[in-house]
Structure 1
Amino acid sequence: MTVYRLAYHHYVTDKTGIGARLYGGRWNPKGVACLYTSAHISLALLEKFVHARGKEDVAGLMLLSIEIPDRGDLVYHVDESRMVDGWADNFDYSQWLGKQILTEGTFVAFSVPSAIVPAERNVIINPQAAHFKEVRFHKPVIFDIDARLSDRLV
Structure 2
Amino acid sequence: MIVYRIAHKHYIDDKSGLGAKLFGGRWNAINLPCIYTSVHISLALLEKFIHAKVAENMRNISLLKIELPEDQIFSIDKNKLKPSWIDDIEYTQWLGAQILEDNSILAFSVPSAIIPEEGNIIINPLSKNFKSVKFLEIADFSTDYRLLGKLLDTSV
Say yes or no: TM over 0.5. Answer: yes
Contact 2:8 2:57 in 1 (8 A): no
1:34 corresponds in structure 2 to 34
1:126 corresponds in structure 2 to 124
2:14 corresponds in structure 1 to 14
Does residue 1:3 correspond to 2:3, yes or no? yes
1:46 corresponds in structure 2 to 46
Q: Distance in 2 between matches of 1:44 and 1:17?
A: 16
1:90 corresponds in structure 2 to 88
Q: What is the Cα-based RMSD across aligned positions, in Å? A: 1.0
Contact 1:27 1:94 in 2 (8 A): yes
Contact 1:67 1:135 in 2 (8 A): yes
Q: Distance in 2 between matches of 1:45 and 1:58?
A: 9
Q: Distance in 1 between matches of 2:84 and 2:144?
A: 33
Q: Distance in 2 between matches of 1:103 and 1:147?
A: 40
Q: Distance in 1 between matches of 2:120 and 2:69?
A: 16
Q: Paired residues, what number?
A: 152
Structure 2 SS opposite 1:139: strand
Amino acid at match of 1:55: A
| Deviation digits for residues 74-100 of structure 1 (CA, Å, limit 9, x no counterpart) | 110000111111101100000000000
Q: Distance in 1 between matches of 2:88 and 2:47?
A: 17
Structure 1: unaligned runs, 5 residues or longer: none
Structure 1 39/50 Cα, relative in aligned 2: closer, same or farther at 3 Å?
same
| Deviation digits for residues 18-59 of structure 1 (CA, Å, limit 9, x no counterpart) | 110111000000010000000000000011112223332211
Identity %: 49
Structure 2 SS opposite 1:26: coil
Contact 1:55 1:151 in 2 (8 A): no
Contact 1:107 1:129 in 2 (8 A): yes
